[in-house]
């Protein structure tokens, strides 16, 4: 009979595997930003992470997967297996009655996420024209951003807070346009806006474009769901 593996041994191995994966993805992200996707080799990633070439493939799966993981982790801020829609700031927005507060809080989230994701987004945009896998990754990111904005726009619509000439889907398109990491890159990195100024501008833009001037949040009761259409 084989000896039973002790739980702490399995937990230790899992922690070591996670740390190795984290080191590889961090090294890959740094090299992608410094050198570009095409110029970064698997061997270079392995050297930077202090592991073998084989470990890069067995732990992560190659360059494309490393870039995708780097982006995913940059979006949520960690490598915990918790979906974005289950994160505390999202669940808090679902309970917030004031649509203006929802959008202002979201502007802060965009600023925080964009500070992490903007350099990687530039890597993707530069490589998308030359690599089919990266083009697919870019399209997946675009679709995921739009899907998230449809959820957010519906929260605003549920509070009867959209301008009368806007549907929830159109509002989602506006949010999607403004939360593009390229906007952060141009204003904060290229034009040297402070992150705080960017957040303030973004919140003001969201509120002025989507919410009518006379909007007042309901004092009590749950927001009423309003179905959207094109």
Instruction: Print the domain residue range for 36.
Output: 1-77
- Same structural domain for residues 115 and 153? yes
Dihedral sign (CA 197, 94, 174, 64): positive
Alpha-carbon distances of 97 from 135, 216, 222, rounded to whole Å: 39, 10, 8
Of 77, 104, 120, which residue is a domain's last? Answer: 77
- Same structural domain for residues 88 and 56? no
Query: Who contacts 210 (Cβ-Cβ below 8 Å, separation ≥6)?
Result: 103, 153, 156, 161, 162, 163, 166, 171, 174, 175
- Residue 121's pLDDT is 94
How many domains in the chain? 2
- Same structural domain for residues 90 and 133? yes
Give the DSSP H/E element, type plus range, for residue 4: none
State CA 218 to chain mean position distance.
Answer: 30
- Same structural domain for residues 145 and 212? yes
Rounded to 10 deg, the angle between the 63-76 and 7-35 helix axes is 100
Give the DSSP H/E element, type plus range, for residue 226: none
Q: Please, are residues 38 and 130 in contact by the beta-carbon 8 Å criterion?
A: yes
Backbone angles phi, psi at 62, to 5 degrees: 115, 180
Give me the half-sphere count of Cα atoms (radius 13 Å) on the Cβ side of residue 119.
13
- Same structural domain for residues 133 and 65? no
- Same structural domain for residues 48 and 128? no
What's 136's domain CATH number? 1.10.357.10
- Same structural domain for residues 11 and 117? no
Of 61, 77, 93, which residue is a domain's last? Answer: 77
Task: Give which of 146, 151, 120 is closest to 225, Cα–Cα.
Answer: 151
- Same structural domain for residues 4 and 93? no
- Same structural domain for residues 143 and 216? yes
- Same structural domain for residues 89 and 69? no
Backbone angles phi, psi at 167, to 5 degrees: -90, 165
Q: Give the count of beta carbons closer than 10 Å to the beta carbon of residue 173.
A: 16
Cα separation, 203 vs 73, in Å, equals 24
- Same structural domain for residues 180 and 212? yes
Percent helix, percent strand, percent coil in the chain, to nearest 5: 70, 0, 30
- Residue 226's pLDDT is 46
Of 77, 100, 116, which residue is a domain's last? Answer: 77
- Same structural domain for residues 6 and 102? no
- Residue 65's pLDDT is 95
- Residue 130's pLDDT is 87
- Residue 206's pLDDT is 98
The pLDDT tens digits along the chain (230 residues) read 555 556 667 888 888 988 999 999 999 999 999 999 999 999 999 999 999 999 999 999 989 999 999 999 998 888 777 777 677 778 888 889 999 999 999 999 999 999 999 999 999 999 998 899 999 999 999 999 999 999 999 999 999 999 999 999 999 999 999 999 999 999 999 999 999 999 999 999 999 999 999 999 986 444 444 444 44
């Amino acid at each position: 009979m084989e000896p039973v593996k002790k739980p702490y041994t399995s937990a230790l191995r899992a922690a070591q595997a996670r740390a190795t994966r984290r080191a590889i993805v961090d090294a890959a992200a740094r090299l992608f930003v410094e050198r570009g996707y095409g110029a970064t080799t698997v061997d270079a990633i392995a050297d930077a992470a202090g592991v073998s070439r084989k470990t890069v493939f067995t732990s992560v799966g190659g360059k494309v997967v490393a870039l995708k993981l780097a982006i995913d982790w940059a979006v949520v801020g960690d490598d915990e297996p918790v979906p974005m829609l289950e994160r505390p700031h999202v669940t808090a927005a679902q309970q917030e009655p004031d649509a203006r507060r929802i959008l202002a809080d979201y502007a802060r989230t965009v600023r925080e996420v964009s500070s992490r994701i903007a350099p990687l987004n530039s890597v993707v945009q530069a490589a998308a024209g030359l690599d089919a896998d990266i083009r697919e990754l870019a399209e997946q990111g675009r679709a995921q951003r739009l899907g998230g904005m449809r959820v957010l726009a519906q929260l605003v619509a549920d509070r009867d807070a959209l301008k009368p000439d806007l549907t929830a889907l159109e509002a989602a398109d506006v949010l999607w346009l403004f939360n593009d990491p390229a906007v952060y890159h141009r204003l904060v990195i290229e034009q040297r806006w402070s992150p705080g100024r960017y957040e303030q501008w973004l919140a003001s833009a969201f509120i002025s474009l989507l919410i009518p001037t006379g909007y007042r949040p309901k004092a009590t009761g749950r927001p009423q769901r309003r179905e959207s259409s094109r």
